[in-house]
Amino acid sequence: MSKLFSPLQIKELTLSSRLVMPPMATGKSNEDGTPTEALIDYYEDKTKNEKIGLVITEHAYVAKEGIASKGQLSLADDSVIEGLKKLTTAIHNNHTTVFAQLSHAGGAAEASLFNLPSIGPSLTPLPRRKNMAQKEMDEEDIQRIIKAFSESAKRAIEAGYDGVEIHSAHGYLLNQFYSPLSNKRLDTYGGTLDNRIRLHLEIIKAVRNAVGDNVPIALRLGACDYMDGGSSLEDAISAAKKFEEAGIDLLDISGGHNGYMIPGHTEEGYFSPVTKEIKQAVQIPVILTGGIVTAAGAEKLLEENAADLIGAGRIILKDSSWPIKAFETLR
């Protein structure tokens, strides 16, 4: 059996394969953040091959001032639970495990979609973006955001998700705290790496309390910014260790303020130099995404111990039959 299509245990869950469909925004949700029939059909189509071990659905905002874009999924209030049950049922009917991704856009929020000031760690222009937070978060904001993440996690489990992923990548709120490019705070949430991930650790603790000990919690980390003065590989390794100690069960590695790309790199698994180092530093499984479009490439990265799971996003977006084709290729 190929490694890509071998099972993997995460807490009490057994994934049927190491192939992951990572979160990719579709813009197919209703105005209130509930899933449309089109969105449910989309995930049903992507998982009907029954070869994907884990789907992490597109990022869902935990609070209205954290909306990143029109048509985004919501976990911000109880009204979304019934619609999300239909979504998770469609995926489970295809014998596929599914996690929800919990997100807050912070200073990168789309302000035109809500009547609240956007918030962030600092009043600092965000790299690659024209916008910035309109309000630096105070202690009341921080406690409200921690509560929003924990309550959203609880809703996700009520809606039938098997686990949750905390989004700290691609220049969104928690990534803004993690990166020294966007976190210019002078209090206990800024400065050193320990301070810059303090909010992460508080959210992890609150989410764990909300979902219980048996539910897997993943964290998507924008490990490096690939910009002068940005987050580094050393930051990522140190943070990964601390997230594991705090109770994270799965690390999903991507980019920081440069998004899901690395300038000048298109090779399969271009984040592998980072995931290899992180995998050596932690005991929990690590997901590698980025440019993976062939079954052979995915298998090679697993054989080289670059990661424990492979996220193949754009190729699955382009071709719903790719997972079964990959299975047949490696069989």
Catalytic positions: 172
Pairing of strands 97-103, 217-224: unpaired
211 close to 240: Cβ distance less than 8 angstroms: no
Q: Which amino acid is at 1?
A: M
What distances in angstroms separate CA 282 from CA 54, 57, 97, 200, 251, one per listed residue? 21, 25, 23, 17, 9
Rg of the chain over Cα atoms, rounded to whole angstroms, equals 18
Residue pair 179/257 in contact (Cβ under 8 Å)? The answer is: yes
**φ, ψ at 233 (rounded to 5°):** -60, -40
Task: Let me know: does 149 contact 201? Beta carbons within 8 Å.
Answer: no
Are 140 and 119 contacting, i.e. CB atoms less than 8 angstroms apart? no
